[in-house]
Every structure is written in C-alpha cells, then in structure tokens.
Chains A and B, each alone.
Chain A
Amino acid sequence: MIDIQDVWYLAGGRPILCDIRLKIGRGEFVFVVGPSGAGKSTLLNLVHMAILPTRGRIRVADFDSSGIKPKDIPFLRRKVGMVFQDFKLLEDRDVYENVAFALWATGVPGRKIKKRVFQVLADVGLSHKRYTPIPELSGGEKQRVAMARALANEPFILLADEPTGNLDQESSRELMTLLGRIHRRGTAILMATHKEYEIDRKDARLIRLLEGKILP
C-alpha cells in the first residue's frame, strides 16, 4: 500500500531524510517517533506528496512519486487523510462546514454530503457540536473536527502529524482512543509523535527516527 524505497530528502543541500526504506501494509498502525527535527513531518509530507523525494521513490496505492503530475496529487490526497498539530481548520466556519468543505472540494454530490458529515461527526463524538463555530471549541475538539474532515472521504490511511502536540493529557488520551477506533474499522494509521510515553498499543509498529535516519 505504501512503499518507500531508498528515499533521500535534501533541503538547501542539507539531508533531512537519509536512505529511508519503509513499507506500510493495509490496515497497519505505525508510529514514527523521534525528537523534534528528526524528520518525522518531512516523512509524512512525502507520503502526502506535499513534497517529493530528492532521491528514491515513494509509492502510495497507485501513485508513484517518480512520475506523478501536479494534476494527479489532489486525487492522491482524497485517499490519504492528514491531520496536523495546528489542526488547520477554517476558523470562520462552523464544525459542519469544516467537514463538509472536504466533500464539496472533492465534488461529492450534495445529497450525500449531509449524510456523510453527520456520520463522521458521530464517529468522532461531535454530533452535538455540529453548528458550533470553531473558535468556541477546545483543542481536543478541534483535533476531532480535523480528524472527521480527514476521514470524510474515506481514506485508506490517516497520516497524523503530532496530533496530540497541542492537547492536554486527558484530550490526548481521548484522541488516542479515537485513533484506535478508526484503526479497528480498517483504516491504516501513520502517526508521528515525540511523546513515546503516549504509545500504549501492542498491535502497533514503532519506527524510531533520529537525524533523518531510521534506527535499527
């Protein structure tokens, strides 16, 4: 499903990722852990093809970084959901509109949007706050909206870049439980975090990244 082959990524001539080899199968739960600056976000951005490798290739389902055209990238993004530490929500809209936005933007027919939005909001436990403006939500709730938005298009993998970075302990625990639930439904998860102590899953694979290299 995701195949990262001998990938290097250089920024300003400086290596950020060195010779990364990694395969993620369908429905897997993978943690990428490491300190700040280890290259975790860069790795996730490469999978999302927000950036392309300097050397090597990445295959995500049918998309190959070595030959992908800019016009194909939106279609990859519909199959790969992503959430960030800073949520990246539209602050001038409410919860419903933020989730529906992902469906509007990808051309989902109108009659299906409402049903799907209510479904994912129920999954993340925010049905009751569907018309609440974003600034009125707590950090944990904002991250759940971001997650609902990422799941709206039914991606086969969810990339989570430090999703608990801005959350308190209680909210972080709730989010990890939610991620576990999403995973149990068959969605693969690739989560980058520097908080190794939060990982309490026995079925997950752990990859340690340090200075751009995967530790053996």
Chain B
Amino acid sequence: MSLNLKYAFREGYRGLSRARVATVITVSTVAVTLTLAGLFFFLMVNIGQTLGNLRSRIYLEAFLNDGLAAEAVRSLEEKIRRDSAVESILYISKEAALQRFQEEFGEDIQELIGENPLPASLQIRIHTQKGSVEEIEKIAAAVQIMDGVDEVVYHKNLIRLVREYGLIILAVGLGLFILLLFSSVFLIANTIRLTIHAQTRNIEVMKLVGATKAFIRRPYLIQGFLEGGIGGAIATGILLIAHVFLKSRFPGLFTFSLPVWPLPLVFSLFLGYAGSRWALKYFFKS
C-alpha cells in the first residue's frame, strides 16, 4: 500500500475515533436504515410476486347459450381474439364445466337435479401488461352483446386492485426505500461535516504546506466508506439472522433466490462514499 493510502486510512480511522459519539450514532442509524430498507426490499419482492400471481389469474368468463354449434363457438372465438389485449381463449364445454364443479364441490349436480345446468363458456385471458380496467370493461361489454353469449362475468374488484393499486403500492414502497437511502446519505454527510469542522485547522495546515485537494479529501472519503461499511455489515448480519429465522418459520415466504445478501454492504459503501462527497463539496464550497 502506498504511503499516501496508508496515511489516508490512518487519518480516516482517526476521524472515526475523534467524533466517537457522532460515529456511533451514524453507524447505528445506517445499520437500522439499511435493515429496514432490506426488510422493505423483501416485502416489496413478495408483494410483487403476489401481484404477479394475481395478474396471471385475471380472465373474463363468457357463458354461452345452450346448444350453440361448434362453428358458432369458433366464430365467436375469432371475433374476441381480434382485440390485441386478449392473450388466449379457452373453451370449456358443458361436460368440462360439470367435471370442474364436481372437483371443486365434490357433488354430482347432474345426479341431484337430473340434468347438467352448467353452461359452456369461453375463458378469456388478458395480457398481464396490457389492458386497463376500462379496457377490460370494454372487452366485457363487447363480448356481452355478441350472438351466442349469455353472460360475461369477471373479478372486477380483483382486476381493479391489481391494475390500479398494485402499481401504487409498488411506487410508494420504492419511494419509501429511496427516502431511507437518502436519509442514510444525509446522516453520513452530517457526521463527516462535523469531523471536518473539528479539523478546520488541520485542513488549513495541509493547504499551507502544499497538500493537493485530493490528498485532503481522501481520509474523509475513507471515513465515510468505513462508517457506511460498518453500518452495512451490521445490517447484513441482522438481515441474515432474520432470513434464517423467517425461512424456518414461514418456508413459503422467500421464494426468490437472488444473491441479495451482499447488497446492503455494497449499498452502504456507496452511501458512505456519497455522504462524504456531499459533505466535502459543501465544505470546500463554503
């Protein structure tokens, strides 16, 4: 390691121990913030997955008039398929509907009332990324008035929840996540600013003897790295323990296998660096 770096590391470490109380506050706040951000991240991933599952279940069911010929069903299918928002159409015959009913409720309705009362239907799936609630309503209305269609039903509330509130939930989550990260940067910047203010004489002397700006800044950047890094390491530890605990209690909770564990640490180093740069910019400007 070059002398300059060794010096910068030593001074960075000294900076931490000089402003001990501020350092402890910053490191613990970074740790808490990143732990919250990490938990939030997992929560968002799980919400995202749930919304994805719900999206794949969005379909309209068009019940057909009894006795509709196969040709008429095919022509209906073709007409419906012309809308680009329609992903696929599944024809469920009266017999298939009866079988489903039996599987779901365990009773043979035909035997009970002497005939099969269930109509044939077309299950119309909508592209997950396409189609607002209004568009789906439009498709439903259009299908409703087609010849051979008796009734169109769909989970209006579920569609509204997924299409409208899903995005809002994710956007609010992302907003809060970014806010947490910003508060970490601000806290680190503030501690570094305190350290720099306590070191004004040192910086004056450094300038006096011909130290370059980069040389003066380096120990403070390292201090920020260390503060962020320690906070990040603590957060990573807490999240790992939380992960092990939650996985043993709720095995279905973590269904993704992203290598996310080093993320808080990497993030924290970035936060530390950003915080220091912010403080230094402010200091050198003033």
Instruction: Say whether A and B bind each other.
Output: yes
Q: Are B4 and A107 in contact (CB under 8 A)?
A: yes
Give every chain B residue within 8 A of A71 (Cβ-Cβ): 212-213
Question: Shortest beta-carbon distance, B206 to chain A, in Å?
Answer: 5
Q: Are A105 and B209 in contact (CB under 8 A)?
A: yes
Q: Are A106 and B205 in contact (CB under 8 A)?
A: no
Question: Shortest beta-carbon distance, B30 to chain A, in Å?
Answer: 27
In the complex where A90-B201, A90-B202 touch, is A101 in contact with B209 (Cβ < 8 A)?
A: yes
Q: Are B210 and A106 in contact (CB under 8 A)?
A: yes
Q: Are B210 and A78 in contact (CB under 8 A)?
A: yes
* A153 vs B211: C-alpha distance when bound (angstroms): 12
Q: Which of B6, B205, B211 contacts A74 (CB 8 A)?
A: B211
In the complex where A71-B213, A105-B215, A107-B4 touch, is A77 in contact with B205 (Cβ < 8 A)?
A: no
Q: Are A153 and B205 in contact (CB under 8 A)?
A: no
Beta-carbon nearest neighbor of A70 in chain B? B213
Q: Is B283 an interface residue when CB atoms closer than 8 A count as contact?
A: no
Question: Shortest beta-carbon distance, A30 to chain B, in Å?
Answer: 21
Q: Are B209 and A106 in contact (CB under 8 A)?
A: yes
Q: Are A88 and B206 in contact (CB under 8 A)?
A: no
Give every chain B residue within 8 A of A76 (Cβ-Cβ): 210
Q: Is B204 an interface residue when CB atoms closer than 8 A count as contact?
A: yes
Give every chain B residue within 8 A of A107 (Cβ-Cβ): 3-4, 215
Bits for A72-89, please: 1 = Cβ < 8 Å to B, else 0.
001111100010000011
Task: Give residues 71-130 of A contacting B (CB, 8 Å).
Answer: 71, 74-78, 82, 88-91, 101-102, 104-110, 113
Q: Is B7 an interface residue when CB atoms closer than 8 A count as contact?
A: yes
* A150 vs B3: C-alpha distance when bound (angstroms): 21
* A153 vs B210: C-alpha distance when bound (angstroms): 10
Q: Are A77 and B209 in contact (CB under 8 A)?
A: yes
Q: Which of A74, A88, A90, A110 contacts B210 (CB 8 A)?
A: A74
Q: Are B213 and A90 in contact (CB under 8 A)?
A: no
Q: Are A77 and B7 in contact (CB under 8 A)?
A: no
Q: Are B215 and A102 in contact (CB under 8 A)?
A: no
Beta-carbon nearest neighbor of B206 in chain A? A105
Q: Which of B6, B201, B210 contacts A105 (CB 8 A)?
A: B210
Give every chain A residue within 8 A of B202 (Cβ-Cβ): 90
Give every chain A residue within 8 A of B213 (Cβ-Cβ): 70-71, 74
Task: Give residues 170-207 of B contacting A (CB, 8 Å).
Answer: 201-202, 204-207
* A71 vs B208: C-alpha distance when bound (angstroms): 14
Q: Is A149 an interface residue when CB atoms closer than 8 A count as contact?
A: yes
Question: Shortest beta-carbon distance, B182 to chain A, in Å?
Answer: 31
Give every chain A residue within 8 A of B4 (Cβ-Cβ): 104, 107
| Most chain A C-beta atoms within 10 Å of own C-beta, residue among B7, B204, B207, B211 | B211
Q: Are B204 and A88 in contact (CB under 8 A)?
A: yes
Give every chain A residue within 8 A of B209 (Cβ-Cβ): 77-78, 101-102, 105-106, 149-150, 152-153
Question: Shortest beta-carbon distance, A90 to chain B, in Å?
Answer: 6
In the complex where A71-B213, A74-B212, A88-B201 touch, is A104 in contact with B7 (Cβ < 8 A)?
A: yes
* A107 vs B215: C-alpha distance when bound (angstroms): 9
Beta-carbon nearest neighbor of B8 in chain A? A104
* A58 vs B207: C-alpha distance when bound (angstroms): 20
Give every chain A residue within 8 A of B208 (Cβ-Cβ): 77, 82, 88
Give every chain B residue within 8 A of A113 (Cβ-Cβ): 3
Beta-carbon nearest neighbor of A80 in chain B? B210
Q: Are B3 and A109 in contact (CB under 8 A)?
A: yes
Beta-carbon nearest neighbor of B10 in chain A? A104
In the complex where A75-B210, A105-B211 touch, is A88 in contact with B3 (Cβ < 8 A)?
A: no
* A70 vs B207: C-alpha distance when bound (angstroms): 11
29 CB contacts below 8 A, A to B, read A70-B213, A71-B212, A74-B210, A74-B211, A74-B213, A76-B210, A77-B208, A77-B209, A82-B208, A88-B204, A88-B205, A88-B208, A89-B205, A90-B201, A90-B202, A91-B201, A101-B205, A104-B3, A104-B4, A104-B7, A105-B206, A105-B211, A105-B215, A106-B209, A109-B3, A110-B3, A110-B6, A149-B209, A150-B209
Given contacts A90-B202, A105-B206, 14 further A-B contacts (CB under 8 A): A74-B210, A74-B211, A74-B212, A78-B209, A88-B204, A88-B205, A89-B205, A90-B201, A90-B205, A105-B210, A105-B215, A109-B3, A149-B209, A153-B210
